[in-house]
């Protein structure tokens, strides 16, 4: 019979912003399918937990618990300080997690045997150490961006703080086409004493303490140089993705009829536009992109954050209604897999890039923050599967040109061929003999050993 102490109980600590908690939940559900004796307590803010639930799905053996968000009572989101909720949340950590975890242990009478967290929750290393249990962080972006955080001190020394943006990282294997200006903000600028840059610096310093570091990517996407460098910095680093291919398919919700609309379009003709879960384009760029779509008569499907009627140029929605569709949310993965879609206009969030690879769709990338500039530069100069926009801002002419290159030119065709190769490698990585499958087994060994 099951005794209290023989039960495995894993605490999962989420980072409740952007698309971080969803891949963490995918990871946990996969472990739970592989080890039915393990129970999970998933700690996350109420708001982020609610979002995970609204995406549907069954969560057997995973119990959700809310932690305090740290927001003052009556807090109203301030568009000009979009990072404020993150700052409040970070100030509330680790106390908010500790309190919620204590309650769960008191209620269940079962101590935690392992801590799994988003890699951003770097202080989980200390929490695990205190409990003498292993810590397994999940990195939700590309390996390349993690390397940058592991080597921040080195990069600061080599490139200089606030050094010229155009200098390239020739001294860093696999990064010779990456420029200082492509690095996440704060990596080589300003003091490392507050906010997200200090968090990422800490992540880089503390991850080597982890029992294993899992990542939502696959080894074959990176040059051997990058994988070797990663292994030298972090021997326990394990690419186990893409999660999109290892998770159950998302529920069939196509509330706004996007797929039906795509059925009526020609093959490879549509631009799918989405800037992730949070970002809204600044007004002049919204106008520029809208004008480019209209002038080129490019069929488009736009997942729009904000109010399209108020924010898009007057009359745009009516004038383009024969070939354009604007929706508040879209079944992105299914859209990218649809044969009508020819290009993805994106902000370069890692989940979006992986989904575009799986759909085989080249990208036009307009990056905003964090890893997105590095992702954009890598898409364009290393993988050859996408384009940046000039000056990293949409202009009408720049957008028309980029759409034309991908939808109508030989260069676009070559990108499509290159992305098809990556797509195949992604599928191979998760086959039974694939690299991600083998790496996942290693993660399971760490978990079952505890
Ligand atoms: C942060 O991610 P974001 O939310 O900004 O962007 P993505 O990583 O691209 O994830 C967006 C997800 O939302 C889904 C889409 C992706 O899985 O399929 N989605 C959708 O289903 N329907 C829609 O209409 C719009 C989006 C951060 F900003 C990035 O820089 C990081 O790379 C990322 C991972 O750490 O987290």
Which of 351, 374, 379 to mutate for ligand 1's pocket (most ligand atoms within 8 Å of CB)?
Answer: 351
* DSSP letter string, 329-398: ---HHHHHTSTTEEEEEE---HHHHHHHHHHT--EEE---STTHHHHHHHIIIII-SEEE-GGGS--HHH
* Helical spans, DSSP H, in 44-160: 46-54, 84-92, 95-108, 124-131, 143-150, 152-159
CA of residue 335 to ligand 1 center, whole Å: 14
pLDDT averaged per 10 residues in sequence order, the chain, 450 residues: 62 97 96 92 96 70 95 90 92 97 96 97 98 98 97 95 93 96 92 85 96 98 95 97 90 89 98 94 97 98 96 98 97 97 98 98 97 98 97 98 98 98 98 98 92
Residue 45: predicted pLDDT: 98
Question: Is 177:168 a contact under the CB 8 Å cutoff?
Answer: yes
Coil, strand or helix at 216: coil
Q: Which of 118, 151, 182, 222 is catalytic?
A: 118
Three-state SS at 246:
helix
Q: Is 118 a catalytic residue?
A: yes
Atom of ligand 1 nearest to the CA of 355: 18
Residues with CB under 6 A from ligand 1: 18-20, 140-141, 274, 276-278, 303, 329-330, 332-333, 349-352, 355, 370-372
pTM for the model: 0.96
Task: For residue 387, give the nearest of 367, 371, 359, 358 by alpha carbon.
Answer: 367
pLDDT at 439: 98
- CA Rg, the chain, in Å? 22
Quote the CA–CA distance of 228 and 234 in Å, as a whole number: 10
Tell me how far apart the alpha carbons of residues 285 and 114 are, in angstroms, rounded to a whole number.
Answer: 46
Alpha carbon of 250 to ligand 1 centroid (Å): 14
């Amino acid at each position: 019979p099951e005794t209290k102490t023989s039960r495995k109980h894993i605490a999962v600590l989420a980072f409740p912003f952007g698309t971080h908690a969803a891949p963490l939940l995918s990871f946990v559900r996969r472990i739970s399918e592989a080890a039915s004796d393990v129970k999970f307590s998933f700690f996350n803010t109420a708001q982020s937990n609610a979002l995970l639930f609204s995406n549907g799905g069954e969560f057997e053996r995973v119990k959700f618990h809310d932690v305090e968000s740290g927001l003052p009572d009556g807090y109203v989101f301030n568009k000009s300080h979009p990072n404020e909720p993150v700052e409040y949340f970070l100030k509330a950590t680790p106390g908010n997690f500790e309190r919620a975890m204590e309650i769960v242990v008191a209620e269940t009478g079962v101590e935690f045997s392992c801590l799994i967290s988003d890699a951003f929750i770097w202080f989980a290393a200390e929490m695990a150490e205190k409990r003498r249990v292993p810590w397994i962080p999940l990195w939700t972006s590309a390996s390349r961006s993690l390397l940058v955080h592991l080597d921040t001190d080195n990069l600061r020394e080599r490139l200089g703080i606030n050094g010229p943006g155009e200098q390239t990282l020739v001294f860093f294997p696999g990064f010779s086409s990456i420029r200082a200006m492509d690095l996440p903000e704060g990596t080589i600028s300003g003091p490392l004493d507050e906010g997200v840059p200090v968090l990422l610096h800490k992540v880089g310093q503390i991850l080597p303490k982890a029992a294993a570091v899992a990542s939502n990517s696959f080894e074959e996407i990176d040059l051997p140089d990058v994988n070797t460098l990663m292994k030298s910095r972090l021997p326990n680093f394990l690419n186990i993705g893409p999660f999109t291919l290892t998770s159950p398919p998302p529920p069939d919700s196509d509330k706004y009829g996007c797929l039906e609309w795509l059925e009526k379009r020609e093959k490879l003709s549509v631009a799918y536009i989405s800037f992730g879960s949070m970002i809204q384009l600044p007004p002049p760029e919204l106008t520029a992109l809208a004008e480019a779509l209209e002038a080129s008569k490019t069929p488009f499907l736009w997942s729009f954050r904000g109010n399209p009627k108020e924010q898009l140029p007057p009359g745009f929605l009516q004038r383009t209604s024969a070939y354009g569709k604007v929706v508040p949310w879209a079944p992105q993965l299914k859209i990218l897999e649809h044969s009508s879609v020819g290009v993805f206009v994106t902000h370069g969030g890692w989940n979006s890039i992986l989904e575009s690879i799986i759909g085989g769709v080249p990208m036009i990338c307009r990056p905003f923050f964090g890893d997105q500039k590095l992702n954009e530069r890598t898409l364009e100069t290393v993988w050859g599967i996408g384009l940046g926009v000039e000056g990293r801002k949409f202009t009408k002419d720049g957008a028309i040109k980029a759409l034309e290159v991908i939808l109508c030119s030989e260069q676009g065709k070559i990108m499509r061929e290159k992305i098809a190769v990556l797509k195949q490698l992604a599928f191979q990585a998760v086959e039974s003999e694939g690299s991600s499958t083998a790496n996942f087994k290693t993660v399971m060994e760490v978990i079952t050993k505890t």
